[in-house]
Chain A
């Protein structure tokens, strides 16, 4: 299992444990604000963490729980025992999900999905008593949908696309209407809402409009997002939720009934052709002659102008015949439309909210006034149809169709259909509509309530095509009555600040409780293999060990004093022997404590594949990501500090670095770009490089821009090397438009990257070759590193040099030093090594001291890939020190890596050879 997931599971367990305790405390004292806040935070964190993984069932239920807690926290909802019960169930469920994730190595099956959905529903009911009144959240969702779905917007969608959507729906896909109202500052977060909408998995079509009209076009801010987006998506709401998990607060969605898509368009014009056709078609429909019907529809379509409204109806009829051969009512309705030139109002309320296809123990909602009116209208229409003359051949089909419609209406309205079948039988027997007319008349005048069970049975059985007509209406409820029913207020969007709902004792539907009760046995043993310790405790331990390391270094001094000052050589030797033991233990302790704080960079790297995939898809670019050195370890703080700047760098590369595939091909590059993220540690630093093979950066443009913006004066600019000029990108305010498209968006960001890193004592360096690619190198110090340093003496002072930088130490006789121009060099093993005196580098005006044999002490160090000989006075021993960065202004002197405290209490300055020259 990957470490990130492991951490999530561990943390999740702790949070659950803590939450359960807070809940208990709250049950004892509902006013306990501290526990409430703790609980809220825990649930919030859990939700956030779960969002990193593909566990929508977990995230959703936690989100709902968080919403409820938020209301409690804001005081708009009381903390009741029932709420505590549900919250505990949520915790149990999540705990079980975590167990499963752990067992299945990161995969969450859908065995708990129905539980979590039921819990989500109960939480929503709890939160909105109005919805509880309705005992169904979907009912209020309908109203909510009415609030935001503008069906007209969907009808701008071209007919072919609507037909495609209809086909998808007929094959069992859920159609969703997704509305995304991005944050005004979205562009600054590198968000492209349009791109995001277009890339929704399963998106069929979409549209957009301005949120507010632009008042004054002259002063319009192009980078202030004022567009709202809608999209028609064929897919599950889980996928949509998952896709938008980072901006879920700006997204709403609802389910679209496929019937709503059927809206014929075109010129209103008919003719005898259609009259003849419809009579013939009804006959075919009655006989069940689908082939014949299809053929005649096809013929008429070929004969008539495609722009006619009627043609559009016929096209729809064809689609329906093809996709829903059993939806006779619908087919008949469409045929009727050809005849009457209008489509009955099946479409008016056709957008239904995000209900799940098979919702556990769904309880039917009350019918709204508006819906009631529709039902009435429909029933009236049926009465009219029944009132038509009886003597036609297709009377039986018509009767059956009418009965189907009546039955549907009654189901929706929650009324009894008792006696309807008998009436139909009677009507069929005499080939007359009269018995049915009587029944209907009676039913309209004396509506009877249906039994609860019947309605539930209806609503839980799988949707059949025939039901689609009925499904165009919100599900009915049977429990409420009287004038109190009706429109419920919209459910507040998750996490939005909503008007507090009036507090009422929520009515939880009994069947839901039965099914969703999730009980985790309390006696199941929990094995803890990992101990979680507060970071402060680790820090304290680390400081103590640091002191021990320093203290132990005083032993050799002590031994020296025993020998030289007090003349007890034996004691000196014994102290040295003891020292070596203590030294070994201290080293191991140091190593152990560092291990505790160390984390692999893969902790941060793990998010990148997904990030790269998402962004590159959004930008329609092809990018292959490779990660190197994921196992490189660094201190926890360092790893965390690196996450954001890295993310930024990657976005930049994807956004501006890589050319679109076609352009790459033209340039003779491979279609897909290569993004390499490489980590390695280098003495006291961790370095992470982000390397792309994109278009690179045009240094000249940066120079021009810097001049134009007056960020750097002309002379300095002239003196700058290309490399230095490139680093100007990190200046705040070097805004871009076309200039630095290849680096950064609007100049927001790169300076933030640098300042973030600087906070942690890190640095960033950019190199680029135009047309070839860009490399961004982030380096951060390890906050505490045990360094092996060699101590050297120069000008009667001691300095430390990190062992990693040292190649070798040699004594070179003076006569082997040759001068090449001003430069002293020597030849070591056939290689010319330039020699530089440390005193001169440190601006000390003293010659280096030679030893008795007249040899100079040369410390050969790495300088990048070159070797350089550093002339010092003499070598001392190698020592472990804890390198601390220099404080304040001193920290900006690059030639020192830091300082360390020695055993005798003196301070050792540790040089950074790479910055010395």
Chain B
């Protein structure tokens, strides 16, 4: 599975598919303090990305994938507007 939910952390791995969005959204609603581990993530479907943009959970670990990190970091590291 590209996503594993731990107590307070959702671990996203590899290429995360669109269907995860709904799930992740629900999880973040339930765990507002939950953080995200993107270490081994290579791609997020736009729907999943959108959930992160909307809810701005803390990103605990940024992706190792440099290119992905360069896209995500400037936007998601900023505090919620």
Contact = CB atoms under 8 A, between A and B. Distances in A.
Nearest to A190: B18
Given A198-B68, A227-B46, 14 more contacts: A157-B70, A158-B70, A192-B18, A198-B43, A208-B75, A217-B54, A222-B22, A226-B50, A620-B15, A660-B14, A662-B14, A663-B14, A737-B23, A746-B18
A606 interface: no
B11 interface: no
B55 A620 contact: no
Given A218-B29, A222-B25, A745-B19, A195 B45 contact: yes
Contact of A161 (B14, B21, B70): B70
10 contacts: A156-B75, A192-B46, A194-B71, A207-B71, A208-B49, A208-B53, A210-B53, A222-B25, A227-B53, A736-B19
B46 A746 contact: no
B39 interface: no
A214 B49 CA distance: 14
A672 to B, nearest CB: 15
A148 interface: no
B74 A157 contact: yes
A207 B53 contact: no
A125 to B, nearest CB: 37
B75 A620 contact: no
A225 interface: yes
B49 A741 contact: no
A589 B51 CA distance: 63
Nearest to A155: B74
A737 B22 contact: yes
A738 interface: yes
Interface string A509-548: 0000000000000000000000000000000000000000
Contacts of B68: 198
A205 interface: yes
Contacts of B51: 222
A212 B62 CA distance: 26
Contacts of B81: 213
Nearest to A206: B71
A218 B28 CA distance: 11
A187 B15 CA distance: 16
Given A158-B70, A193-B46, A227-B50, A220 B18 contact: no
Interface in B59-81: 67-68, 70-71, 73-75, 81
A836 interface: no
A741 B19 contact: yes
B22 A198 contact: no
Interface string A209-238: 110011001101011011100000000000
A572 B34 CA distance: 92
B33 to A, nearest CB: 15
B44 interface: yes
Given A158-B70, A218-B29, A195 B43 contact: yes
Given A156-B75, A222-B22, A662-B14, A187 B54 contact: no
A227 B49 contact: yes
Contacts, number: 98
B50 A225 contact: yes
Contacts of B54: 210, 214, 217, 220, 226
Contacts of A101: none
A489 to B, nearest CB: 30
A619 interface: yes
Contact of A205 (B17, B22, B44, B70): B70
A225 B45 CA distance: 11
Q: Is the interface on chain B under 10, 10 to 19, 20 to 34, or 35 or more residues? A: 20 to 34
Contacts of A205: 70-71
Interface in A166-199: 182, 186-187, 192-195, 198
B47 interface: yes
Interface of A: 156-158, 161, 182, 186-187, 192-195, 198, 205-210, 213-214, 217-218, 220, 222-223, 225-227, 619-621, 655-656, 660, 662-663, 736-738, 741, 745-746
Contacts of A220: 25, 54
Q: Which of B15, B50, B74, B75 has the most CB of A within 10 A?
A: B50
Given A194-B45, A210-B54, A156 B19 contact: no
A192 B19 contact: no
Given A220-B25, A737-B22, A745-B19, A207 B74 contact: yes
A631 B29 CA distance: 54
Contact of B46 (A194, A656, A738): A194
B25 A192 contact: no
8 closest pairs, A vs B, by CB?
A156-B74, A222-B21, A194-B46, A193-B46, A737-B19, A214-B54, A222-B22, A192-B45
B28 to A, nearest CB: 10
A207 B29 CA distance: 25
Contact of B17 (A217, A218, A227, A741): A741
A662 B25 CA distance: 27
Contacts of A737: 19, 22-23
A208 B75 CA distance: 7
Interface in B1-38: 1, 14-15, 17-19, 21-23, 25, 29
A183 to B, nearest CB: 12
Contacts of A210: 50, 53-54
Contacts of B17: 655-656, 741
B75 A209 contact: yes
Given A220-B54, A745-B19, A207 B75 contact: yes
A826 to B, nearest CB: 55
Nearest to A225: B46
B39 to A, nearest CB: 14
A660 B70 contact: no
A251 to B, nearest CB: 15
Given A161-B70, A663-B14, A194 B49 contact: yes
Contacts of A226: 50, 54
B18 A745 contact: yes
A206 B46 CA distance: 14
B47 A222 contact: yes
A811 to B, nearest CB: 61
A150 B15 CA distance: 29
A156 B74 CA distance: 6
A619 B42 CA distance: 10
Given A156-B74, A210-B54, A746 B45 contact: no
Contacts of B43: 194-195, 198, 619-620
Contacts of B25: 220, 222
A328 to B, nearest CB: 32
Contacts of A227: 46, 49-50, 53
A181 to B, nearest CB: 12
Q: Which of B23, B44, B45, B51 has the most CB of A within 10 A?
A: B45
Given A217-B55, A222-B51, A187 B42 contact: no
Contacts of A158: 70, 73-74
A498 to B, nearest CB: 27
A209 to B, nearest CB: 7
A223 B45 contact: no
A655 B43 CA distance: 13
A908 B19 CA distance: 51
A671 B25 CA distance: 32
B71 A620 contact: no
Nearest to A226: B50
A187 B43 CA distance: 16
A620 B68 CA distance: 13
A207 B45 CA distance: 14
Contacts of A206: 71
B15 A660 contact: yes
B56 to A, nearest CB: 10
Nearest to B68: A198
B47 A187 contact: yes
Contacts of A217: 29, 54-55
Contacts of B50: 210, 222, 225-227
Contacts of B46: 182, 186-187, 192-195, 225, 227
